[in-house]
Structure 1
Amino acid sequence: MTWAIWATGLILTLATWGTVYRIWKGPALLDRVLASDVLLSILTAALCVLMIYTDSQFFLILLVALAMIGFVGSVTVARFADNSKADESTPVSRLHERRPRRRSRKKGSKYALGELAEDTDKQGHDGAHPVRASKDLGE
């Protein structure tokens, strides 16, 4: 079992160095934040290995706290990440380029443009509540 602990420690050390390199050289702030989240996950895994090696539950509360901090941090970054500087190759940036299509009136419609309540709201009013302009008789 000792060789497995040493092998796991070596793998976690290599992962830590790669993550620290990404934090140091990351081209964007989002890369650095993501790398810090990965570093927190590596630290959590190292604490799990230490708990297995020492056969104690001493670090369990710290483990849960680190997992909660990592989750809240990831959700916060995902919520406030600015996607305005995304590449043109990303599908998200293509969504902003698309203009909303205007719906045209169907042929044979019994309402002319401007007769519906939605159309009168768009035209504006003098501050009073607009008169219901739709032709349906029900309320």
Structure 2
Amino acid sequence: MFFIGVFGVEEKQKEIGTIKNLSCKNCNKIGARLTLYKTYSFLHIFFLPVFKWNDRYYAVCSGCNSIYEISKEKAIRMEQGDEEAITYWDLRLMDFGNYDNYIKYRCKNCGKEVESQFEYCPYCGTKKD
């Protein structure tokens, strides 16, 4: 977060939903689900968002934690309610180094969002599972 008086720039991650009827390219685990996330940067004035940019979409496998980049067009269609917009061929596996700064996890103890590179929650000190 960056502040200049009453202005600020922040990064945010939002869970869009679960991609149904689609298996992970990496593990093909039965019952594993792919969760779609959106990350973006925004400018706010007095904590009211004014301008948003750098929209990126990712799908995370619950079975093996593989992360796939999803095209903006397909992800927007799913965000608008088209549950079959994303297909198996739309999943582009990302390198480990590329997504560390985008994906966050929620601490099981205090519930705060924590960046994935932390092994312990900086708010309460609980170890990441």
- Is this a same-fold pair by TM over 0.5? no
TM-score category of the 2 structures, normalised to the smaller one: under 0.3
Greater RCO, 1 or 2 (C-alpha within 8 Å, sep 6+): 2
- TM normalised by structure 2 equals 0.22
Q: Which has the larger radius of gyration?
A: 1
More strand by share: 2
More helix by share: 1
